[in-house]
Amino acid sequence: MQKKILALHDLSGFGRSSLVPIIAVLSAGGHQCVPLPTAVFSTHTAIPGWVTTDLTGAMQGTIDQYDKLGLRFEAIYAGFLGSADQIDCVGEAAKRLKTTDGITLIDPVMGDNGKVYDTYTPEMCTRMRELCAIADIITPNTTEAAILLDRDPNSKPGSADEAWEWLRALRAHYGAEVVLTGLDFAPGRVGSGCLSASGGALSLHRRIDRYYPGTGDLFASAMLSAMLNDVTLEDACELAGEYVKDCIAYTMAQQTDPMHGVQFEKVLPRLIDGTYQRELRDRPLRQE
């Protein structure tokens, strides 16, 4: 049966972030993505002059309707959340709408590049920690991982050994499978590490020195899509990292404004035709 994902994220109209790439990537994987927007933005917030409409008031009613309809989802996937009430709604959705063996994936969007986002107060960071404690998988970047571990947000792993220490600490504290993104301790390489009860891997890819918004959404949705297609966590992270790298490389060659996001649309066929699955068979991972 086709798997359904309830995606609780903001919807940014222009800029290729949040629900726009998430819906596309999950659909390319053969899944049904059911968006539950937390807010609508004209553009992502790195583009000046954005306007927004908060949708918190509609979230609880939507969850109630889906529950009454008997809808159940193989994954509950949450990202940017703008208030404590929205965090409560994610917890409610995971409790009431997830299948018995489903996945709650929390992407704890709280900061990046060593800085906490202006919208995240200490109270919101505390509430996000509570939400991560009920997750099956968490996907923080290094800034968010530091916040989750009560460390300096500007700190990050400086070696493979330190990356493993961070992964173990997150797994011990939150009890979830952990995917730590933004690892850049190796010259010219960037990628992720993952850890579950069965083991883990570090997966580094060629670094392309250009920043684009929305790549974290691309990574997490590609990873989740692969896992719902019975790919292991380690291979799903490797696949997602390669996809994001290819999207960045393609977009950089087009010389478009980085704030317009990556042209993931042109690379979607590789997710559909099995390109990355074939490559996985020949690409060694660093296992723990």
Asked if 190 contacts 205 with a C-beta cutoff of 8 angstroms, the reply is: yes
For the chain, first and last CA: distance in Å?
34
Helix (H, G, I), strand (E, B) or coil at 141: strand
Residue 288 has pLDDT above 50, yes or no: no
pLDDT per residue as tens digits for the range 270-286? 999 988 888 887 665 54
Instruction: Give the pLDDT score at 227.
Output: 97
Strands 73-78 and 52-54: unpaired
Q: In the predicted model, what is the mean pLDDT of residues 114-132?
A: 90
Q: Say whether pLDDT at 76 is over 90.
A: yes
CB 180 within 8 A of CB 167: yes
pLDDT in tens, 26-69: 999 999 999 999 999 999 999 999 999 999 999 999 999 999 99
Q: What pLDDT is stored for residue 285 in this prediction? A: 52
Nearest CA to 112 among 155, 144, 147? 144
Residue type at position 168: R
The predicted pLDDT at position 287 comes to 42
User: Which residue type is seen at 213?
Assistant: P
Q: Max alpha carbon distance in the chain (Å)? A: 53
Do residues 245 and 262 make contact, with C-beta atoms less than 8 angstroms apart? Answer: no
**1-37 pLDDT per residue, tens:** 899 999 999 999 999 999 999 999 999 999 999 999 9
Residue 36 in contact with residue 61, Cβ under 8 Å?
no
What are φ and ψ of residue 186, in 5° steps?
Answer: -100, 130
pLDDT, residue 282, reads 65
Between 15 and 82, where is the model more confident?
A: 15
